[in-house]
Chain A
Amino acid sequence: MNRRSFAGFVAPSVLAMLLLILLPLLGTAWLSLHESYVKTELAEVQTSVPLFGGMSRVEVRRVPQAVRDAAGIPVRVWNFVGLDNYANVLSLDRLRQALVTLSDATPGWGWQFYRDVTSIEFWGALEFSLLYIAATTPCVLLLGFAIALAVDATSRRVRGALIFASLLPFIITPVVGALSIYWLFLDNAVVNAALQGLGFAKFYFLSGAVPIRALIVLYGVWHATPFAFVVLYAGLQTLPQDALEAALVDGATAWQRLRFVIVPHLAPLFAFVGLIHVMDAYRVFEPVLVFGSNLYANSLQYMTYRILNSEDNYSKAAAASLLTVLGIVVLLIPILRRLWRERQAA
């Protein structure tokens, strides 16, 4: 295919991505280097507030009020602040303090350092995001593979129903899915009732960092396994029969067939599913929102969302966004290098 045809074919797609992904990214970067607010000055303002049943309370105090220009429009300040927003998000001063504590080398310093650093919003979010990726990815791949093998070995009649049931966690809207699991684990809800029915004691699943994180990871695995399953199952359908028969003739056990024929054949699929999952896991948002308590588990996307909505600080949110993007680019570099080398070899 020549270059002109290529350009013509990819133009609409590239245009869409440039306009709606690259441009906003650049806009966000530019935003992150500035700060903006309405100029205010302190003024004596008497406020009147209703209390109850016709009572009202009048308070006089000094309150910041907007500075207005000649036309009566509030003056908006727009400053270039360089990397200040980034320093704010990374909380460099608190990081420095934590390092000072580290150098003090008091007993238990390692744990204290960990506590100090993760109590900073950004680093705590980064920590859990990475933990989430590391915990869910192997589970998703292994569980998806196990289910694919198991379904592949069942009779054809049952398979349809099994595939259908297995895809359910994947097709439910993530927010709804996370909520449905959250409700099951509340104080006296279904899971606790079942535990007590089986003779165990009540367990408080939301009572600390470890249980909540485990629950979020559980949700993550529950939600992502169907995709791994369906891709690996499709892969199993394309197993080269002759290689398998040759292995059988050679007297290989089921385990050896698995290790030496099936897994190598599926290797590219494991890589594919793993890559997709890492990218999705990095963006984890819904379970953190629902199981709520970024006290115990925070994620980068949730942190950015919080800054955007609660703090109402676009510039700081922009800086947080770009740091998030930087993180995923760093995570992707090994894969990009691998793909580049594969292309060079081809």
Chain B
Amino acid sequence: MKRLLPMAAGLVALLGAASAYAACSISGSGDVSTLSNAFPVLEAIAGAMRECTGGPVKVTTKLTTENSAETTQALKAAKSPYGLVALTNGTITPAQAAGQLRPLNDFVAKYKAKYNIEDGMLIKFGNDVMAIAFQVNAQHLFYRKDILDAAGIAPPASYDEMLAAAEKLKATAGIEFPISGTYKSGWNLAEEFVNNYLGMGGAFFKDGTAEPAFNNALAIKTLDVMKRLVGYMSPNALALDTGASAQQFMQGQVAMGNMWASRAANMDDPAQSKVVGKIAFAAAPIITPGGKPATTLWWDGWAIPKNFDGDPELAFQVMMEGLKEDVVRANNDVAIWTRSVYKPGRFAIGTAASARAGAPPYPMVPQQSLAHDAIGEHIGAFLAGQASAEKVLADATASYIAAAKAKGLLK
């Protein structure tokens, strides 16, 4: 009996999902292959896209967490095997700068009425629509309401308050390491730095150029705050992958931390989490008095490669079938959708609050991803106590300059 129940549930989910959407109604023939990351909202969209397979149309979806490297290669090749690629703020800029994406203005105009394509979904560079965004994501504060209430602490609005709360929890509530964070050395750690440094009011490049400007007093202050936070995290923090740090929340080991909004729904899933209903969400803390929440807003969307050798109009239709209003309604809580039919629930509180308070979008210039990588490679050494802040910032700047020169962005 115990065995049959999950199987039955799986079947019901399968059938249920199938009947939740209106049938796919597109015209055209050919193969469309999609490439994207592999988190829940993309799974839902991919499912809806696959419904379009039938007759002369075949849709195959590839979801992998290694998608960004593969996307870059597909866009560079003579012909792309993928008709639709999923992109974010960080990954669209190099592709757009290299002219690898097909502008979608004509298709948007043609199918605007059929799919109710809203303006808030369009990613425009100049007058060209380069991508259609379906969700917004950001890191914001997750905290254990029950623990904070029991200790008489208000949800922290700034990092200073967060550090004070952590100290109090350590002393009174006996939680050894109250803070969690996605601090794994590499891309994740750099993302934390980007969020905090922008929250400090810092800028990465000299205005209007690709010359680096992130080796300065503000950056050192940012690193110092991060180091103090690490003091309240598990000693393994710099090596824990993102899943392991989410597990710390779901297994009830930590009290506060900045997590991606897309993780919020999992916290209330009894199959995954021990703390169902106990986690509350708020805007990301501010890092400097009078500053904006120290986080960046991301969007995820789809684009069509210029070198796709199939039918781009078919690909566009498949894309819109995956993003139609039925799909949003059926998967309302899985993501923070850009469509207006989305009903924000409690999982959207943190992102909404951060956006309203003026958190910036992740910088959409192609050299940002190079700086991101360079920073991720080096600042871990400071947080691990292996090098000084000045040295790691100098090393990161040098790595960035070498990478930017190799890309022709710097002379």
Contact = CB atoms under 8 A, between A and B. Distances in A.
Interface string B130-141: 000100100000
Given A64-B365, A205-B236, A51 B297 contact: yes
A321 to B, nearest CB: 16
Interface string B120-131: 111111100000
Contacts of B150: none
A295 B381 contact: yes
Contacts of A313: 403, 406-407
Contacts of B351: 52
Contact of A295 (B93, B240, B365, B384): B384
B355 A55 contact: yes
B253 A38 contact: no
Interface stretch (B15-23, B105-113, B336-344): B336-344
B273 to A, nearest CB: 15
Contact of A37 (B89, B122, B356, B408): B408
B244 interface: yes
A291 interface: yes
Interface residues of B, number: 74
A63 B97 contact: yes
A59 B187 CA distance: 25
Interface string A309-329: 111110110000000000000
Contacts, number: 179
B72 interface: yes
Contact of A63 (B100, B187, B365, B384): B365
Among A56, A64, A115, residue most surrounded by chain B Cβ atoms (within 10 Å)? A64
Interface string B73-107: 00000000000000001000110111110000000
Given A186-B244, A310-B69, A50 B402 contact: no
A46 B127 CA distance: 8
A65 B100 CA distance: 11
Interface string B244-269: 10001001010000000000000000
Nearest to B395: A119
Interface stretch (A142-150, A163-171, A206-214): A206-214
Interface string A30-57: 0000010111101001111111111111
Contacts of A315: 406
A205 B352 CA distance: 38
A127 interface: no
A38 B98 contact: yes
B310 to A, nearest CB: 19
Interface in B354-411: 355-356, 361, 364-367, 370, 373, 377-378, 380-381, 384, 386-387, 395, 398, 402-403, 406-409
Nearest to B381: A119
Nearest to A293: B239
A77 interface: yes
Contacts of B185: 292-295
A178 to B, nearest CB: 12
A207 B340 CA distance: 45
A35 B406 contact: yes
Contacts of B187: 310
Contacts of A73: 99
B309 interface: no
A42 B208 contact: yes
Contacts of A48: 122-124
A66 to B, nearest CB: 4
B125 A45 contact: yes
B160 interface: no
A292 B96 CA distance: 31
Given A48-B124, A313-B403, A115 B98 contact: no
Nearest to B377: A121
Interface string B224-249: 00000000001110111100100010
A74 B238 contact: no
Interface in B256-303: 297, 299
A40 B126 CA distance: 16
Contacts of B378: 119
A93 B399 CA distance: 12
Contacts of A77: 408
A49 B238 contact: no
A286 B124 CA distance: 40
A200 to B, nearest CB: 16
A188 interface: yes
Interface in A137-193: 186-188
Given A56-B119, A187-B253, A293-B239, A74 B406 contact: no
A63 B366 contact: yes
B311 interface: no
Given A115-B386, A309-B69, A50 B133 contact: yes
A38 B253 CA distance: 48
Contact of B238 (A37, A62, A295, A308): A295
B324 interface: no
A312 B72 contact: yes
Given A37-B407, A187-B253, A293-B239, 9 more contacts: A40-B97, A50-B338, A51-B355, A53-B340, A63-B364, A64-B367, A115-B387, A209-B384, A295-B380
21 contacts: A37-B406, A37-B407, A49-B361, A49-B364, A50-B338, A63-B93, A63-B366, A65-B96, A65-B97, A115-B387, A187-B236, A206-B240, A208-B384, A291-B239, A293-B186, A293-B239, A295-B186, A295-B238, A311-B403, A313-B406, A315-B406
Interface of B: 66, 69, 72, 89, 93-94, 96-100, 118-126, 133, 136, 184-187, 208-210, 234-236, 238-241, 244, 248, 251, 253, 297, 299, 336, 338, 340, 342, 344, 348, 351-352, 355-356, 361, 364-367, 370, 373, 377-378, 380-381, 384, 386-387, 395, 398, 402-403, 406-409
Interface of A: 35, 37-40, 42, 45-57, 59, 61-66, 68, 73-74, 77, 88, 93-94, 115, 119, 121, 186-188, 204-209, 212, 291-296, 308-313, 315-316
Interchain residue pairs A-B with the least CB separation, the first 3 = A207-B235, A309-B69, A66-B99
